[in-house]
Amino acid sequence: MEGIGFKANDTFIGKGEINQYNEKIKSAYERLETDAYTGWVDYPVNYDEEVMQNIIETAKKIQDQCEVFIVIGIGGSYIGARACIEMLSHSFYNILDAKERKMPQIFFAGHNISGTYHKELLDLVKDKDISICVISKSGTTTEPSMAFSIFKEQLEKKYGNNASDRIYAITDKEKGILRKEADEKEYTSFIVPDDIGGRYSVLSPVGLLPIAVAGIDIEDMLEGARKAYHQYLNEDLSNPCCQYAIMRNILYKEGKIIEVFEAYEPKLQYFMEWLKQLFGESEGKEGKGIYPTSLQMSTDLHSMGQFLQDGNQCFFETVLNVVQPQNDLMISDGDNKFKGRSMNEVNDKAVEGVRLAHVEDNIPNIRIDIPSLTPYYFGQLVYFFEKVCALSGYLMDVFPFDQPGVEKYKEKMRQLLR
């Protein structure tokens, strides 16, 4: 099967500049072998098959058990699963007819502290059959812990002693109050691997259980990741992960301090949120880092398009391009000037037109071609970006697997609440 494509002819970076990073990329690769929190590197080739089958069985049970599945978590314990579900499901999956959907409605909670959001969600689902999954590596994060308590109470009111059979937990194997509760109340639970940090965990049980409940083939997803593992194994400068990581660092040194991720397919909106977390939390430290942001095209061409073309040139663009979209529509109305053309054909022209206009004004442009939106390519794409991000962080001389800034706000908030 063909892989995702990395196109970087429009970055205005010469081969010689890339070659200068030869030694640095070698030592970055060495660190991937020895540093802490690099469990995600080998995960697609050495995950536990028994855990995988258990996740698949549990997902089937949840699909049969409930009409509404609530996934509670924040940051790395939330955004990867949402990115996958939004990318690979029907654009309107929650409002499709239940028979057509063939899976529970899926809602997310605990990714904010809004009383309004949670009250409205509770009101929306309270008369339906509900199951919940709480995901927190530490088991102590404020947002999911509050949402969990609200939905657990609802389940206990509704199902009494049977509530535990509808509660699923994904957390550390021994630390934290969530693990203690899961063991005491005998929730079905899964372990967040010790050596995998939140934002690198979507291909572990953290992402796999909710994704499987959404009816997405997680074995295919890991096969895609496995392909990427082999494809990007070597520290060779022709490896797209190395090239992209090096190019980001060269552009950064040239004052391109913002990376604008752009997608012309709305299903990628949450994938770009995942990218923002991945790069922002991994690189943004010690006063360094490329600020990741995203634009939804062509919507944002009618707002931010002006800035891109003519504004402060402190950014480079990374376009996520879906080569073969799932669906299309032809314009057949004789009065329309686009008669005989399809929407996807015109969307492709928008991608190309924007590239030409921007490159003419020397805006560096990278393009990632995704053959189609399938579980396999999702797995490949995730692994590709995780590797690029880790390498890029090392080249920037930061440790890409901690998040002291996030921990600091969590602690301050806990102090205020005490």
Active site residues: 281, 302, 410
Among 24, 82, 111, 137, binds ligand PA5 (CB under 6 A): 137
Residue 206: how many other CB atoms lie within 10 Å: 28
279-318 residues in contact with ligand PA5 (CB under 6 A) are: 281
Q: How far is the CB of 400 from ligand PA5 (least distance, A)?
A: 11
Category of 230 on φ-ψ map: left (φ > 0), alpha (ψ -120 to 50) or beta: alpha
Map residue 414 onto helix, strand or coil. helix
Cβ-based nearer residue to ligand PA5, 343 or 406? 406
Among 3, 39, 75, 289, binds ligand PA5 (CB under 6 A): 75
Asked if residue 400 binds ligand PA5 (CB under 6 A), the reply is no
Cβ-based nearer residue to ligand PA5, 121 or 170? 170
Q: Give the phi and the psi of residue 364 in degrees, each rounded to 5.
A: -65, 135
348-387 residues in contact with ligand PA5 (CB under 6 A) are: none
Asked if residue 76 binds ligand PA5 (CB under 6 A), the reply is yes
How many angstroms separate the CA atoms of 265 and 8, rounded?
21
Place of tokens 């009111």: 157
How many angstroms separate the CA atoms of 249 and 258, rounded?
11
Contacts of range 97-105, beta carbons closer than 8 Å, 24 or more positions apart: 98/67, 102/215, 103/63, 103/213, 103/214, 103/215, 104/62, 104/63, 104/66, 104/67, 104/68, 104/69, 104/131, 104/213, 105/67, 105/68, 105/69
Whole-angstrom Cα Rg for the chain: 22
70 bridge partner residues: 107, 132
Among 38, 138, 321, 374, binds ligand PA5 (CB under 6 A): 138
Cβ-based nearer residue to ligand PA5, 138 or 204? 138
Span near ligand PA5 by CB under 6 A; candidates 70-78, 126-134, 249-257, 311-319: 70-78
Asked if residue 179 binds ligand PA5 (CB under 6 A), the reply is no
Residue 12: closest CA among 368, 409, 390, 360: 360
Among 18, 74, 242, 389, binds ligand PA5 (CB under 6 A): 74
Span near ligand PA5 by CB under 6 A; candidates 60-68, 85-93, 152-160, 197-205: 197-205
Among 38, 58, 77, 365, binds ligand PA5 (CB under 6 A): 77
Asked if residue 189 binds ligand PA5 (CB under 6 A), the reply is no
Among 82, 101, 199, 285, binds ligand PA5 (CB under 6 A): 199
Q: How far is the CB of 118 from ligand PA5 (least distance, A)?
A: 17
How many angstroms separate the CA atoms of 202 and 294, rounded?
20
Category of 139 on φ-ψ map: left (φ > 0), alpha (ψ -120 to 50) or beta: left
Among 89, 243, 318, 403, binds ligand PA5 (CB under 6 A): 403
Asked if residue 197 binds ligand PA5 (CB under 6 A), the reply is yes
Asked if residue 136 binds ligand PA5 (CB under 6 A), the reply is yes
The token duo for 68 is 């509404």
CA separation, residue 255 to residues 225, 247, 258 (Å):
33, 13, 9
Applying CB under 6 A, what is the total number of residues that bind ligand PA5? 15
Can you give the binding site for ligand PA5, defined by CB under 6 A? 74-77, 136-138, 141, 144, 197-199, 281, 403, 406
